A and B are shown apart, each in its own frame.
Chain A
Amino acid sequence: METDIAWQKELERRARIYDDIEAGGRWEGVMTTLDYAGMAVFTVVLIVGFWIWGA
């Protein structure tokens, strides 16, 4: 029982740390629109390029 309470406290502590990061907007290394757009462009270039070359 004591272990359960201690563990719930630990979970609460961890959740609170994430709440603070969220509230302060302190996420590091966030994927931005640029990342998603870059990935989309890279994927499309590979698909079109290899389709033309190989198919």
Chain B
Amino acid sequence: MTDHVTHGGFAAIETEREEAAHNRAAAERGDAPLLPSERLWGFWEFTYANSALAIATWAFLIGGAIGLFVGPKEGIAAIVIGNIVGVALTALATTPLSGRYGIEQFVALRSQFGYNGSRVVYLLAVVVLTMGWLAVLAMMFGRSIDGLAALSAGEAANPTGIKMIIAAVGAILVTWFIVAKGPTSIKFFNMVVSPALVILMIVMLYLILQHRSFAELLEMPALAPPFEDSTLNFIIAVEVNLAAGFSWWPYIGNLARLTKNERTAFWPNIVGIFGAAVLGEIVGLLAAVALGDSDPTIWMTKIAGPAIGIIALLFVAFANMTSMANILYTSIVGLRQVGTASIRAISWGMILFLFCVIPLGLVVFYPQMYDGFFIFLVWTSALNSALAGIGIADYFFLRGQKLDMRSLHAPQESGPYRFWGGFNPIGLAALAVGFGVYVLVFNPQTLASLPAFKYLTASVPSCLAAGVVHYLLTRLFARGAGWGNYPGR
């Protein structure tokens, strides 16, 4: 009898533990808010994690692109100014609410765009951005391998040739395989690659300074300034960096929900993402200007010579794969939250592969994208800056920093975030206005701009316009329509 009771007691405890573990795992996936006691990251843990994301090879690419527009002195100023504004506004829009409520970013977005509107935003901001980055990083991997082969054979590299394409396709497929295995393999890569990238940056900086002094570097001209007006070139460089700062919008909210509170969710972005991205970009900028080529796969071999060049290229090649694995994983986790039941029913491996099809197509059929990647980056800012403005207006000024956890996680069809058929027309209109303002002020494709661009940039007015439109229209119409559970004044 006692044995039965004991066994029964143990079984009940075991079931309870299993249930708690199951619930916690579901919360970690974003199905429920994480409780403060379940969140693991303090200030330094989060700083380390987002540094790992920011210290990536794309920083070399962006830094090199800045060298096309302005010289190193203006470039460093543009990198700091653009990144601090972009990262600060993006962090304000996404991390205080994640840090307070432990809520998944796209679940929280239901309060701004409706439960179907948040799906549209995910499609526009995450899918397009991530697919583009996957293709660019895979091509960077391919170019590194092509450069390696050329160095070994003593031949000239062919950055758009068949070797690059085969290696880039291979990179996407290997990334798919790694992510299909689960997050543990990604964590392992992060632990190794991030510190090694810091060392690589320091070595590269040392080698650059062996070629030219810092004072000499600061006096060097831009590689290919598009306009005679140096202020306009400088503002374009600032705009590219604003775009880089705003490009964290799809990712940092979901990292911040793992932190213990608001402060630990917000401040590490300034140390980690801002600091790490600035460091990487400055190395990329100085190297590009000093060696006359903005492509890191080319300047690395020029600067380091064949022996260290081979090691650096090999390392950069695999570091790209780590970045690819990180963004692919984050995007597909988000897709589970916004996806329909039929999308959730697709197996993890298959949905990952389907996501990789477009990047594979870009690599094979549009390798020229690599050279104009900064244009692609700036396009994404037309969306991300507007999203940041709407996020700040909604959470801080309309909701007084309060979210309704029950309604956000309950079935949505009859809840307050159904708005109009699941779409919040106000949020989506504000997004369209922000996007429109951006393209009106500055066209990323043609670099054509209004005179105001030189004084305001394009991302800042886009962010402001979207925020103001969202605020005013919500005040005027949302309460009357009974939309969105906004508090009364």
Q: Is B96 a contact partner of A55 (Cβ separation < 8 A)?
A: no
Contact A50:B81 (CB < 8 A) given known A14-B35, A18-B405, A29-B260: yes
Q: Bound state CA distance, A39 and B87, in angstroms?
A: 11
Q: Is A31 a contact partner of B27 (Cβ separation < 8 A)?
A: no
For B88, the closest partner residue in chain A by CB is A43
Q: Is A30 a contact partner of B80 (Cβ separation < 8 A)?
A: no
Q: Bound state CA distance, A55 and B114, in angstroms?
A: 43
Looking at chain B, what size class is its interface with the partner chain?
35 or more
A11 contacts across to B, CB distance below 8 A: 32, 405-406, 409-410
**Interface segment, one of B71-79, B131-139, B416-424:** B71-79
When A and B form their complex, what is the total count of cross-chain residue pairs whose Cβ atoms lie within 8 Å? 83
For A10, the closest partner residue in chain B by CB is B23
Q: Is B261 a contact partner of A14 (Cβ separation < 8 A)?
A: no
Binary per-residue interface labels of chain B (265-308) against chain A in the complex, 1 for a CB within 8 Å, 0 otherwise: 01100100000000000000000000000000000000000000
Q: Is A43 a contact partner of B85 (Cβ separation < 8 A)?
A: yes
Contact A55:B231 (CB < 8 A) given known A14-B27, A47-B81: yes
Q: Bound state CA distance, A18 and B100, in angstroms?
A: 9
A residues 6-45 touching B (CB-CB < 8 Å): 6-8, 10-12, 14-15, 17-18, 21-22, 27-31, 35, 39, 42-43
How far is the CB of B326 from the nearest CB of chain A, in Å? Answer: 26
B36 contacts across to A, CB distance below 8 A: 21, 28
> Given A22, A28, A35, A53, which contacts B266 in the complex, CB threshold below 8 Å?
A35
B405 contacts across to A, CB distance below 8 A: 11, 14-15, 18
How far is the CB of A11 from the nearest CB of chain B, in Å? Answer: 5
For B264, the closest partner residue in chain A by CB is A29
15 CB < 8 A contacts A-B: A7-B26, A11-B409, A14-B27, A14-B32, A15-B33, A17-B35, A27-B261, A27-B262, A29-B261, A30-B100, A39-B266, A53-B73, A54-B73, A54-B234, A55-B77
Which B residues form the contact surface with A (CB < 8 A)?
19, 23, 26-27, 32-33, 35-36, 73-78, 80-81, 84-85, 88, 92, 96, 99-101, 231, 234, 260-264, 266-267, 270, 402, 405-406, 409-410
Seed contacts A28-B260, A29-B261, A31-B262; 7 additional CB < 8 Å A-B pairs: A11-B32, A14-B27, A14-B32, A46-B81, A54-B73, A54-B74, A54-B75
